[in-house]
Structure 1
Amino acid sequence: MSGLNDLLHAIKTAADDGEETILATVVKVEGSAYRRPGARMLIPLHGRTVGTVSGGCLEQDLAKKAWWLTDSGEPVVRRYSTGATEDEDDEHSSLTFGLGCNGTVFVMLERLRAKTPSPAIDLLHRVRDSQQPAAMATVIATSRNASARVGDRVLSDTDGGLRNPPLNSAIREDLHKTLREKKSSLRLYTDARGEVEVFFEYVAPPPRLVIFGAGHDAQPLVRMAKLLNWHVSVVDSRSHYARPERFPQADAVIFANLDNPFDLQPLINDAAVAVMTHSYRQDRHWLGQLLHGAPAYLGQLGPKERTERLLADIGLSSPALHYPMGLDLGGDAPESVALSMLAEMAAVLNQRNGGMLKHRSRPIHSVDLLVSQALAHQQAGVGV
């Protein structure tokens, strides 16, 4: 959800001003592409776009043509090919960019009206504000006589949905599966009236980073994490360090006196956590509590020998503790150290090893599988 805050802010600003905008969303990718399904861009009638749906090759064409493509008011899906050659006899030749990326990107365009609620935007707000995941099913293609339309949606956290009860029921079941597996996918449903292709999007809240230590080297780490749209909290027991004005981009700056402990678990569970106070007493205090928690990533800054002495004093150890924290990138400036730490956190959260991509034998991105499901009226018990 990189750039989500900027996107939602731009949508709200336009709505407050009574202006209509167009939301462009990547809903399907075949082959190689810079952005994956779920990437979004806002296209205003006047002014600059917000967000990206590619590496910069599709945005200009979308901004130029989105308004007349959606002139009917209905959502449409635009197909772009980034193949190496153009075929003038191809019905889609006008959408071929000849970039040599050998991928096809499908982008859905839909108008956002100032006074008309958007279920998709409302869901994005709820996920961001509640820090709880959700799932969204969006119809992206249909047969001529199908029982759904492009742009129809079913959301995991609200009632309602499609008018076709068997199809709606099947989609809701797959929404639950999307939440369980925490993975977006494409599915094709077939009934007596035709085919309906649906993009199931797993909408995760922004990753959370909790930094124990409000020193100078924490400042670039906060800034870099916010560039990735992470939710960032800074904790320190020194009141002259734990000040919001030192970390204007942080979501929370917490002064925590060591003599008045508080329950850390809601703050750290499933979050990336960095201990970097440069105070042996503070590090020992925080690390002793953190080792009893369930963070998604836990790292300790400093030499290996120092951390091992901390663990010995605490009387605990954990194979999941990352120390020294960070990837071996070289450089000793605070910004270099922050980059090293954040890169390791991102690799762990994404279940990667942080190695060079040129040594990766598997595809960079996982392949989105197309799953066919038959919704025959005999199975559903209801005519479709």
Structure 2
Amino acid sequence: MSNQLIHLLAQWYPLKDSHQWVLGLIYKTQGSCYRKAGAVMLFSDAGHQLGVLSGGCLESDINKQAQRVMQDGKYRTAVYDDNDEEDIAFKLGVGCGGVVHLALLPVKSDNHYLQLHTVYSHLVSGNACLWKQEINGELSSSVSICGAQPTGSSELADTTPLVKAAAKKVAASLDTQNGKRFLTVHCQSPPHILIIGGGYDATFVVKMAVQQGWSVSVWDPRPAQARVEHFTDANFIVESTEADALNLHIAEHNVDAAVLMSHHRQIDSKALATLSRHPLKYVAMLGPIHRKEEMFALAGVTESDFQGFFASPAGFDIGGDLPESIALSIIAQCHAVLAQKLPLLQQ
């Protein structure tokens, strides 16, 4: 199961009233740490541990503290300092050398589930949102779709941090209002990648994208390709043979990226023409450089027609030629583009 926020909340949501729950929330870090501010984990009295807050080093101690929160219903904060010889993090041999500031907050109907159910609803609908959570005190919360006014369990008059977080698309920002600390977390649905081509090599790209927690669509107009039994992990298989159906699917499902790997001139060229009409962040196509020019000519497009990053040949050159290696190189490159790791792309 992916550690994407939407997948953690999908497991928690149907059980939210069946168990006692505690949210582990990293609200500040210093130095080198496995997870950064905004990372969450959910603990229950039935033994559920959804998500990760470290590389497995701190979870056992965090779970013990979460159990105490369940017993008395009071929030707690903790600091794990890997540089302090007296700190539990040092004694556990974490070795990262950083400091993690953690809040453990009860999640129950009385505090409106910290508005996590609202966050989940927005993410399922494909809407990015800003979740603002008080770290201590009354544990007030609010959620707003990016660009909208916040709604939640308390009045939060100052929405400036929300606007700033949305504009910068930072993972999280910590601020103080009237002596209270609030963490604003930018929450968004996982990327949606479209695979053009339903051959054997495409199955590896799909599996690797699914392991990242991404949504995946597959389209191949050839009846012998993109068979359901070969792509059981895919979220959608576009069964129509018409490019217009592909055009509609991209618009309806907010596709972020696409990989052309049909190994077929007509299919790739038609798909290229369709993809050029959408603001995709990443488009990649298999094949040598000269094939790219041939496909552009058949599609009647140029590279400037694509708003995002266009890669052909697709993926990083990692020195592999097996389907598994090619899939790794493509997903890694796509991930770098979506994460805006431009220095990596320029290497």
Give the TM bin, normalised by the shorter chain.
0.7 to 0.9
C-alpha distance 186-294 of structure 1, shift in aligned 2 (>3 A): closer
Output one character per residue of 1:328-348: Cα deviation in whole Å (capped at 9) or x when no partner. Answer: 112112111110000000111
Written as runs of structure 1 = structure 2, the 5 A alignment for 1:109-124 is: 109-113=104-108, 117-124=112-119
What residue number does 1:327 align with? 316
Match of 2:332 among 315, 320, 343: 343
Written as runs of structure 1 = structure 2, the 5 A alignment for 1:187-226 is: 187-189=174-176, 191=178, 195-226=179-210
Match of 1:300 among 285, 305, 321: 285
SS in 1 for 2:206: helix
Runs of 4+ displaced beyond 6 Å = none
SS in 2 for 1:179: helix
What residue number does 2:170 align with? 183
Structure 2 letter corresponding to 1:312: A
Output one character per residue of 1:222-272: Cα deviation in whole Å (capped at 9) or x when no partner. Answer: 111111111111111123323333211111111131376553451576601
> How far apart, CA to CA, are the structure 1 residues paired with 2:26 and 2:121?
21
> How far apart, CA to CA, are the structure 1 residues paired with 2:75 and 2:277?
49
> How far apart, CA to CA, are the structure 2 residues paired with 1:137 and 1:260?
40
Report the CA distance between 1:101 and its aligned residue: 2.1
What residue number does 1:23 align with? 23
SS in 2 for 1:263: helix
Kept in 2, the 8 Å contact 1:19–1:114? The answer is no
Structure 2 letter corresponding to 1:181: K
Kept in 2, the 8 Å contact 1:210–1:268? The answer is no
Q: Percent identity?
A: 28
C-alpha distance 156-53 of structure 1, shift in aligned 2 (>3 A): same
C-alpha distance 261-22 of structure 1, shift in aligned 2 (>3 A): closer
Report the CA distance between 1:217 and its aligned residue: 1.2
C-alpha distance 260-269 of structure 1, shift in aligned 2 (>3 A): closer
Match of 1:159 among 151, 160, 164: 151
Report the CA distance between 1:100 and its aligned residue: 3.6
> How far apart, CA to CA, are the structure 2 residues paired with 1:75 and 1:279?
58
5+ unaligned residues in a row in structure 1: which ranges?
Answer: 88-92, 142-148, 360-384
C-alpha distance 187-40 of structure 1, shift in aligned 2 (>3 A): closer
More helix by share: 2
Written as runs of structure 1 = structure 2, the 5 A alignment for 1:90-169 is: 93-94=87-88, 96-97=90-91, 99-113=94-108, 117-141=112-136, 149=137, 151-157=139-145, 159-162=151-154, 168-169=156-157
Structure 2 letter corresponding to 1:37: A
Q: Say which is worse superposed, 264-273 or 274-283, in terms of deviation.
A: 264-273
Q: Say which is worse superposed, 19-28 or 7-16, in terms of deviation.
A: 7-16
- The alignment's TM-score, normalised by the length of structure 2, stands at 0.86
C-alpha distance 127-201 of structure 1, shift in aligned 2 (>3 A): same
> How far apart, CA to CA, are the structure 2 residues paired with 1:269 and 1:156?
19
What residue number does 2:85 align with? 86
User: Of the two structures, which has the highest relative contact order with CA contacts closer than 8 Å and spacing of 6 or more?
Assistant: 1
SS in 1 for 2:229: helix
SS in 2 for 1:156: strand
Kept in 1, the 8 Å contact 2:175–2:181? The answer is yes
5+ unaligned residues in a row in structure 2: which ranges?
Answer: none
Paired residues in the alignment total: 335
Report the CA distance between 1:162 and its aligned residue: 3.5
Output one character per residue of 1:259-286: Cα deviation in whole Å (capped at 9) or x when no partner. Answer: 7655345157660111111111100110
Report the CA distance between 1:39 and its aligned residue: 1.8
What residue number does 1:277 align with? 262
- The alignment's TM-score, normalised by the length of structure 1, stands at 0.79
What residue number does 2:37 align with? 37
Kept in 1, the 8 Å contact 2:219–2:246? The answer is no
Structure 2 letter corresponding to 1:252: F
SS in 2 for 1:302: coil
Q: Which has the larger radius of gyration?
A: 1
